[in-house]
Structures are given as C-alpha cells and as structure tokens.
Amino acid sequence: MRIRPLSLISRGLLASVIGILLIAAPNAQVAFDSASSSATVSVPSTTLSWSHTTASDGDRAIVVGISFVDFGVNQNAPRPRTAATTMVTYGGMPLTFLASSQNGPSFVDLFGLAGASVPTGSNMVVVTVAQPSQIVGGAVSATGVDTSDPFNAAGGFSGSGTSFSMTLPGTSDTSLVVDTILFAVPFADIAPDPGQTERWDEFAGSGSHRGAGSTATAGDGTTTMTWQELPAAKNPELRGISTTWLGALVEIQAAPVSGPNIEVVPTMGEFTDGESVDFTISNEGSGGGATAIDLRGPGMITVTAVTIVGPDAAEFTLLAPPPPPLPIMLNAGDSFVATVQFNPVGPGPKTAFLEITSNAANTTVLQIPLNALGIVTGTVPTLSTWGLILMVGLLAIVGWSRLRRRQPDVG
C-alpha cells in the first residue's frame, strides 16, 4: 500500500488590499496668522480703528468681525442691513460685506478680503458705521487660502440664555472658521467652547455689550461654534437672565493642492494559487470599482514605476504592465491595468505591497498592501488506513505467538 505525502495547494485571502485612502483633489490647510481687536471706550462713535499685522503669504485673507449697538435716533426701529450700512477698510483697501445679524439696535457684521490685494505688514483696520454706536471690532488673518473662492459665510443668528450656538453647513476640515458674537450683558464673563480659540473679547463703553470672536478648524460637512456665559464673579444676579446673543460666522476656505493627485478606492478580493487580481489605474476615468485606483487631476499624470515590494514580494507576481511600457502618461479618462498574481511557495501569512510611483501632488509613492495566506492541505493517511495497518500487525503478532506455543520443546 502506498501512502501519499502531504501536498501544498496554496490558497490566499486578500484580507485588506487597500490600507490608504487618499481623497481626490485635496486642499492645503488654512493656517491662522494673527488676531487683533479694539472697542469704543466711552461715548458712542461712528468710527473705530486699530492696528493689525498680516503675513506676506500670497494666499492670504483677513476677516473683520464687528458688533455694535446703534445709539442714533429711532434706535429701536428695525432697520435692514446692507453692505452700505457699514464700511471696513484695511490699509485703505475696502473689505467685502459677508454676513450680518440684527436685533433692534444691536448688530453683528462680518467683512473679508483675500488675495494679493490684502496689504501685508502692519496696517490700520478702520470701521465706519452710519450712526453713533458703541463698537467692538476684531480681525483675524490667515494663510493658505483659496483666493478664488475664499469665504463661505452665514448670519442671522440670535438667541438668549446662558449659551449660544451657530452652525455653518458645507464646511471642509481643511478650512478655518471665524465667528463674531455680541452678548448683551456687558458685565458677565463669556467663553467659547474648548474646541475654539478665543481671539478677542472686548467690553464696549457705557454699559453697552460684550463683543468677542474665536476661530476653530472646520468640521467635515458642518461646523458648530458655541459660546457660554460663565458663572459671574460679580453681579451673579445677572447670570441666566433673558439676554440677547447675536452672531455670524465665516469659513475661510483652503487653497487646493496644485497638480494631479492620487486616490485609492477601498477594495477586497481573493487570491488563490495561480489566480490574479487586476487593479485599474486611471485618471478620473474608472468611476471607482472593486479594484480601482484613481489618479486624480488636474493635469496629466505620469506613472514612472509599478512594482511589488515587501518581505514576501517573491510570492506575488506582477503580470502587467506592460503593455504599455513605462513611463505611462494618463490624460483625463485614460487608464491601464496592473495585474497581480499570488504564487506562494510555502504556508502562512504573506505580505507585500503593490507600489505605484507617479507625479501625484499628494504622494509620489503609493504602497497598497497585499495580504494573503498560504494554506497547507492535501491527502493524509485516513483512520481506515491506520486501522488496516494496525490490524495486519496484530494478526501477525497473534499468529507468531500461536506458532511458538505449538512447537515442542527440544530437550
């Protein structure tokens, strides 16, 4: 009887092909530059000015937040807010009206300016309002800004009580959000939520109001900015009374990364001995898919190398490319296929990487994990086989024993 030896038939599961997700056309991160503020001291005024310093970065922006109470005639009559009602300049350059909130004679405004027209160095911020008012103003400058589409602003926020929140939709986590608020209890203390950084908090003279502002890194999708009234150290009887909050906020949007970018769509697949998995590498042309690797524009993408590296690279084979020969030029809609085959030479976990080298702006070398498992299977002796061998052996022993007992003793 012939017993076959163990045989190795390899099977590998691609447990997690994609270990990196790189979002298409990523943006840089907006960076906070500097902040400044001022307030009217005693009598109402139609102007407020202070000094602010801006960095020389080309992708720069400045946002000015104003909170004021109008002490002019008919101060309790509702008045619509327009860009002409208030004027703000920085270094003589006019800022653009972004958003506003109003409750009777109380107002909050946001103005902004982005790009090379923003003066650099130390310059004066000048705020002009239509009627004599108690004014608080604050400025925030930032760098890394999308100067072609710098601002996403919202106003019309008001509330009462000991806390106040504003939510801005459509934000990106690469942006910086700036808010400005008016709090109608001037002798109370206020503070932003821990995720925000307070940039100014000023008291307008003549018992008018508190004006403040903060910044925070934007959330992905929406951003909520919240302020709290703190327990009052003095005049505690004022805390929690029905007070008025007003606010507005603006997202300073990040400049996009220049040049083509790479994105990998998560995928799972199965490798068996001798089988292969195709990876489609495209420039915005594949529309995704189970094994799609999208190299995202703008611009043409040049793939200079497609290789397999790692501790078990020898057990994975790159069947294609070629064709076409490297380097591969991908215009919008173009694609090519990289085919990986698993050929294990032994059992156990196998780890390697499909490595793609290109001129992508966000990563020039992308490594995609290839995780597989070689499994030992095959024909082994069964229980019936061992039983037959054991039975034959026992019969031989019993027969030999009986044969000895029958032999006469020789004297």
d(CA 208, CA 230): 19
Give per-residue pLDDT as tens, 106-163.
899 999 999 999 999 999 999 999 888 899 999 999 999 999 999 999 999 999 888 9
Higher pLDDT, 409 or 129: 129
What are the structure tokens assigned to 27, written together?
Answer: 């943006």
The residue among 138, 135, 133, 243 whose CA lies nearest residue 190 is 243
Q: Which CATH architecture has domain 11-25+258-374?
A: Sandwich (2.60)
Beta bridge partners, 128, equal: 47, 87
Q: Strand ranges (DSSP E) for 95-209?
A: 96-103, 106-114, 121-143, 151-159, 163-171, 176-183, 190-192, 197-203
With a cut of 90, say whether residue 42 has pLDDT above it.
Answer: no
Residue with tokens 């920085």: 90
Euclidean distance between CA atoms 137 and 68, whole angstroms? 8
pLDDT given at position 260:
55
> Residue 88's beta-bridge partner residues?
127
Structure tokens at 83: 């860009």
Q: Which of 198, 176, 195, 180 is nearest to 252 (CA)?
A: 176
Residue 73's SS3 state is coil
Q: pTM, whole model, 2 decimals?
A: 0.60
| Nearest alpha carbon to residue 282 among 264, 307, 259 | 264
Give the pLDDT mean for 7-32.
Answer: 44
Rg (CA), the chain: 36
Model confidence band, residue 397 (pLDDT cutoffs 50, 70, 90): low
d(CA 164, CA 157): 9
Which residue in this structure is represented by tokens 């001037």?
A: 186
Per domain, the residue ranges of the chain are 11-25+258-374, 31-252
Residue 3, CA distances (Å) to 7, 248, 385, 386 in order? 12, 83, 9, 10
Residue 161 is predicted with a pLDDT of 86
Does 23 have pLDDT greater than 50? Answer: no
Give how far the C-alpha of residue 202 lies from the chain's centroid of Cα atoms, to the nearest Å.
33
Q: What is the pLDDT of residues 265-318, one digit of tens each?
A: 434 334 445 555 656 655 543 333 334 555 555 567 788 888 889 998 888 887
Asked whether residue 243 carries a pLDDT value surpassing 70, the answer given is no
pLDDT of residue 211 exceeding 50:
yes
Mean pLDDT, range 32-53, rounded to an integer:
93
Whether the Cβ atoms of residue 317 and residue 339 lie closer than 8 Å to each other: no
Give the single-character DSSP code of 147.
Answer: T
